Amino acid sequence: MRIIRDPRAWKETLRDQRKKTVSIGFVPTMGALHRGHMSLIERSIEENDVTAVSIFLNPTQFNNADDLKNYPSTFEEDCRLLEAIGVELLFTPTYDDIYADGFTYQVNETELTGRFCGAARPGHFTGVLTIVLKLLILTAADRAYFGEKDWQQYRLIDGMAKSLFLDTQIIPCELIREESGLALSSRNALLSLAQRKIAPYFHQIISSGITIDQMEQLLVEHGFRVDYIEEWEDRLLAAVFLGEVRLIDNVRIS
Ligand code: PAF
């Protein structure tokens, strides 16, 4: 696996690669890889000749300094997993190189960005869209893969790709859960033992078919702090806190 840090070198490498291969798949990540990420990478490997991955813990999408500081980092283990699965190219830029403009150029979306997760995390999706646009331009992949756990993020990125006529197709991938039903997330590693026992109730309660008011009441009784539970299109989107750890999930409404 080639590890490249410099954005221009990454762009050139991908440009050369494109001359030799039919299709390139791309999976952007912030590291701390788990089975959810690996399922995106497996799908990319299945559907493309070459798979490129990025690991960049993007500070501009964290509206809370402690959240960024506490975000898990397992770089060596990540590299081992990527090599083992057969990823050819890994991009790990530095903040100064990828934000050489000091984040003065930003991608703003004005409708969906302020709702759901965006309401409690001002600036979060501007940071996400800005980094993802940079990564998509630098990689110019045929397909890029995003997990459905972050449904609002997927919808915003897909909307951006269409709105800006990007050549990369944005592929949503099935949410992966633990056997308990808890959605896999890098943040699960931050839960205490006691919180890990409570966390599966989140999915159980939001998929139980009771009213949103009843869900909120039950979640509070189990020790969660509810950020939001809202229906949007054919999904129920939800975010809760267990202590300081923020968990998100969504279920399709039949
Ligand atoms: O979903 C994530 O891990 C991040 O938001 C992403 C898409 C890699 C952008 O930093």
Per-residue pLDDT of 88-130, as tens digits, reads 999 999 999 999 999 999 999 999 999 999 999 999 999 999 9
Q: Which of 27, 29, 63, 91 to mutate to test the pocket of ligand 1 (most atoms within 8 A of CB)?
A: 29
Instruction: Classify 2-173 by CATH class.
Output: alpha beta
* Per-residue confidence band for 74, with pLDDT thresholds at 50, 70 and 90: very high
Q: Is the pLDDT of residue 143 over 90?
A: yes
| CB burial readout 15-51, b (16+ within 10 A) else e | eebeeeeeebbbbbbbbbbbebbbbbbbbbbeebebb
Q: Strands across the sheet with 235-242, in order? A: 225-232, 235-242, 245-252
Structure tokens belonging to residue 125? 């999706």
Q: Which atom of ligand 1 is nearest to the CA of 147?
A: 1
Helix (H, G, I), strand (E, B) or coil at 123: coil
- Distance of CA 67 from the midpoint of ligand 1 (Å): 14
Cβ of 30 closer than 6 Å to ligand 1, yes or no, is: yes
- Closest by alpha carbon to 144, among 112, 167, 118? 167
Architecture of the CATH domain 186-249 = 2-Layer Sandwich (3.30)
Mean pLDDT calculated for residue range 13-41? 96
Cα dihedral value 102, 107, 111, 115, nearest 10: -50
Cβ of 136 closer than 6 Å to ligand 1, yes or no, is: no
Cβ of 81 closer than 6 Å to ligand 1, yes or no, is: no
- Distance of CA 240 from the midpoint of ligand 1 (Å): 19
Q: Which residue has the tokens 């509206």?
A: 63
pLDDT-above-70 percentage for the chain: 100
169-173 and 143-147 beta bridge pairing: parallel
Size (the chain), residues = 254
Burial of 119 per CB tally in 10 Å (0-12, 13-18, 19+): middle
- Distance of CA 194 from the midpoint of ligand 1 (Å): 28
- Distance of CA 84 from the midpoint of ligand 1 (Å): 22
Annotated catalytic, 37?
yes
Q: What is the pTM of this model?
A: 0.97
Give the separation between CA 89 and CA 14, rounded to whole angstroms.
9
Nearest CA to ligand 1 atom 1: 29
Nearest CA to ligand 1 atom 5: 128
* Per-residue confidence band for 254, with pLDDT thresholds at 50, 70 and 90: confident
Nearest CA to ligand 1 atom 8: 29
- Distance of CA 218 from the midpoint of ligand 1 (Å): 30
Give the separation between CA 81 and CA 7, rounded to whole angstroms.
23
Residue 144's CB is within 10 A of a number of other CB atoms, namely 25
Q: Do the Cβ atoms of 158 and 170 come closer than 8 Å?
A: yes
Cβ of 239 closer than 6 Å to ligand 1, yes or no, is: no
Mean pLDDT calculated for residue range 132-147? 98
* Per-residue confidence band for 17, with pLDDT thresholds at 50, 70 and 90: very high
Q: Which residues are registered as beta bridge partners of 55? A: 29
Q: Domain boundaries in the chain? A: 2-173, 186-249
Residue 165: the pLDDT is 98
Q: Which atom of ligand 1 is nearest to the CA of 128?
A: 9
